[in-house]
């Protein structure tokens, strides 16, 4: 087994894991949407849930991370959802080849051929597999990460959006037929907003926000990196821990980045570089665009703003800021926020530099 100088950690998500388990232990009755700021740990949480429940005989976890999939056409969708034997997920059973949906559900070669020729509707195929599992006393669970990547794809007749039809299918599988649990995670909160304002989907869905780590959890983590990350080369004093929190807050990915860099550089150098990078990122995003400058001025002293406080800002601009990972949006509370503590430094530093040159 390969040994690393520093391991990735999973810090105190017991409450979130419990909430997910409670959802799965009830009868399927709603789609669960998991959303939150970028790098808040949504994908890591999904993988941890998958690992914990995979061994349980009563569940069949069908997990697909669309971040790892190239999607531009309907055929890409079929290839992603229905894995062939050439992908390494296929099996041979006698003379009949088997195929896997999400790498797990087995389909015979004839059905796979019909799907490829567009002579078979994929939704009834999936439904039949759910029914087969339930007859065996196994509860099917579908988990799709970065679901918004399906946006822009259409069914073969070009009249219906694939995402909409798939969502309607999941409503039928959860609230109407109670056949399957469905968890959808997305870092694109504007996609979540589209769901939230859709009255039909809102009444058939639950929404769970995964935010950055609380300071208390970060302190516990960084005071014992030997335990959480298997670090042997150094320890952190309280001043260093406070510097890390002040620089990146509860962003687990950025904290891990700092811990890796500490094997080579001083903390002050790392923190300074992070802040400079974020200033440059904001400068590039706002370059020559007064509307973007005006938008970010709202967040210069306050990292979170209610939608009503951004009156006059176009929804298209807000949506672009979210897609570009400058802001995040919480559709449940109707608030916009800066994507992490480090970007707060970027916005602050950018306007300080701008004022010096004016």
Q: How far apart are CA 236 and CA 223, in angstroms?
A: 7
Contact by Cβ (8 Å): 339, 253: no
Q: How far apart are CA 200 and CA 123, in angstroms?
A: 20
Residue 47 pLDDT: 83
296-313 pLDDT per residue, tens: 999 998 999 998 899 888
Reported as type and span, the H/E element at residue 42 is helix 42-54
Q: How far apart are CA 269 and CA 247, in angstroms?
A: 12
Here the tokens at position 202 are 């809102």
Cα angle, residue 105 at apex, residues 172 and 147 outer, rounded to 5°: 55
Q: At what angle do helices 315-323 and 189-197 cross, to 10 degrees?
A: 130
Residue 5 pLDDT: 63
pLDDT bin (cut points 50, 70, 90) of residue 175 is: very high
Q: How far apart are CA 90 and CA 34, in angstroms?
A: 30
Hey, which bits of the chain come out as E strands? 31-35, 59-65, 82-83, 91-93, 96-101, 105-108, 139-145, 181-186, 205-209, 304-306, 327-330, 335-338
10-34 pLDDT per residue, tens: 787 888 989 999 999 999 999 999 9
* Residues contacting 34, CB < 8 A, separation 6+: 42, 45, 46, 183, 184, 185, 186, 208, 209, 210
156-168 pLDDT per residue, tens: 876 788 888 888 8
Query: Is the pLDDT at 114 greater than 60, yes or no?
Result: yes
* Residues contacting 228, CB < 8 A, separation 6+: 7, 9, 11, 221
Q: Give the chain's radius of gyration (CA, Å).
A: 23
pLDDT bin (cut points 50, 70, 90) of residue 53 is: confident
Residue 75 pLDDT: 83
Q: How far apart are CA 76 and CA 23, in angstroms?
A: 30
| Confidence (pTM) | 0.83
Starting at the edge strand that comes first in sequence, how are the strands of the sheet with 31-35 ordered? 59-65, 139-145, 181-186, 31-35, 205-209
Contact by Cβ (8 Å): 154, 77: no
- Which one, of 71, 5, 12, lies nearest residue 41 by Cα? 12
* Neighbouring-strand partners of residue 306: 335
Here the tokens at position 212 are 């950055």
- Average pLDDT for the chain: 84
* CA contacts within 13 A on the Cβ side of 311: 2
Contact by Cβ (8 Å): 311, 320: no
- 3-class secondary-structure state, position 320: helix
- Mean pLDDT lowest among 5-14, 153-162, 337-346: 5-14
Q: How far apart are CA 185 and CA 209, in angstroms?
A: 10
């Amino acid at each position: 087994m390969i040994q690393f100088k520093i391991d990735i950690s999973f810090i105190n998500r017991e409450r979130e894991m419990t909430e997910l388990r409670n959802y799965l232990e009830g009868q399927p009755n709603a789609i669960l949407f998991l959303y939150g700021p970028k790098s808040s740990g949504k994908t890591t949480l999904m993988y941890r849930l998958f690992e914990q429940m995979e061994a349980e005989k009563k569940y069949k976890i069908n997990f697909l991370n669309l971040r790892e999939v190239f999607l531009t056409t309907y055929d890409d969708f079929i290839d992603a959802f229905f894995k062939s034997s050439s992908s390494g997920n296929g099996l041979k059973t006698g003379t009949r080849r088997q195929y896997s949906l999400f790498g797990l559900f087995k389909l015979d070669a004839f059905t796979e051929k019909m799907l490829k020729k567009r002579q078979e509707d994929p939704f009834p195929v999936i439904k039949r597999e759910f029914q087969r599992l339930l007859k065996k006393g196994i509860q099917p669970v579908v988990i799709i990460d970065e679901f918004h990547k399906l946006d822009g794809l259409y069914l073969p007749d070009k009249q219906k959006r694939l995402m909409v039809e798939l969502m309607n299918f999941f409503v039928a599988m959860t609230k109407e037929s109670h056949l399957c649990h469905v968890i959808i995670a997305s870092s694109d909160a504007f996609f979540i907003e589209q769901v939230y304002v859709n009255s039909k989907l809102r009444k058939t869905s639950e929404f769970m926000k995964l935010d950055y780590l609380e300071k208390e959890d970060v302190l516990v983590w960084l005071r014992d990196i030997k335990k959480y990350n298997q670090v042997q080369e150094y320890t952190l004093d309280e001043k260093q821990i406070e510097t890390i929190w002040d620089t990146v807050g509860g962003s687990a990915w950025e904290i891990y980045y700092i811990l890796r860099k500490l094997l080579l550089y001083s903390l002050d150098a790392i923190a300074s570089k992070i802040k400079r990078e974020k200033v440059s990122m904001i400068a590039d995003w706002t370059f020559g665009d007064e509307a973007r400058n005006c938008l970010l001025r709202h967040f210069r002293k306050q990292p979170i703003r209610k939608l009503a406080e951004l009156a006059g800002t176009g929804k298209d601009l807000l949506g672009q800021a979210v897609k570009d990972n400058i802001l995040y949006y919480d559709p449940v509370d109707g608030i916009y926020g800066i994507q992490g503590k480090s970007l707060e430094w970027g916005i602050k530093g950018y306007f300080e530099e701008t004022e010096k040159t004016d």
